[in-house]
A and B are shown apart, each in its own frame.
Chain A
């Protein structure tokens, strides 16, 4: 799985996240618009098409494809599109005070800064296993070569 590849899979699970981060688009055989693949793709701003039924079979031998996430279509070959950005404002509760302390689940070191700026009291669950998976390298080999 190289940066820019299209990830075509039956479904995604949390273990797929490091690969999803390198993907240019995600296509799944099964699932709806509220499944794991769909939600994570929207978080990442990646085009995603679900429920293609036989995408993993039909796209297996296609060297280059173009994914139109908005239309839910995959085309053969390369097509460049000039994207038109659109912004939807979602209100944030920057000054919200709650009686209950609010702790986040943190799995992605890249989002630590952004999350710290929100009205949270700390990290309740640190998903170290995801952080290690994102290294893209076996931890023991890093230890043995003196890089950890």
Chain B
């Protein structure tokens, strides 16, 4: 499911290379939303990825390498892969009995599941009235990661 938005959609985020920069937030990922009902892609959010993290040859650790300009804007997952991941997400949800936060990796065409854990916090899309906001000067915009109407705001 999408933990910060529509619970009828399955959200998948993807980058090229190892996954650590996705977890830390150092790289912004492609985002694919797939409908839970018919497993069709509802939305693709594609981003430019300037570098990737890879294994450091035969030595331990990892290293960053630059991605050629011509490949920086490519779609990270094929539609087929995005749908296969959504299907896998549903299988894991059925197995564990609740929505899952899944870490995975494609090596070639082979899908590997690395970790699956329950989604413990979700927030419905913010339905609060925002009258007057449009009169303000918009400064920056980005991806909604949390509407922020959790229990803290209601004391």
Contacts and interface: CB of A to CB of B under 8 A. Distances in A.
Classify the secondary structure of B's interface with A.
Answer: loop
19 contacts: A27-B140, A31-B28, A31-B145, A34-B3, A36-B23, A47-B146, A59-B140, A69-B144, A70-B144, A70-B147, A71-B141, A72-B144, A73-B140, A77-B136, A81-B128, A82-B128, A85-B154, A88-B123, A90-B98
B145 A58 contact: no
Interface string A40-74: 01111111111111110011001001111111111
Interface in B83-139: 97-98, 101, 119-130, 132-133, 136-139
Chain B interface residue bracket vs A: 35 or more
A120 interface: no
Nearest to A33: B145
B154 A75 contact: no
B71 to A, nearest CB: 19
A25 interface: yes
Interface residues of A, number: 57
Nearest to B119: A90
Nearest to A62: B139
B119, B138, B143, B146 interface centre (most CB from chain A within 10 Å): B146
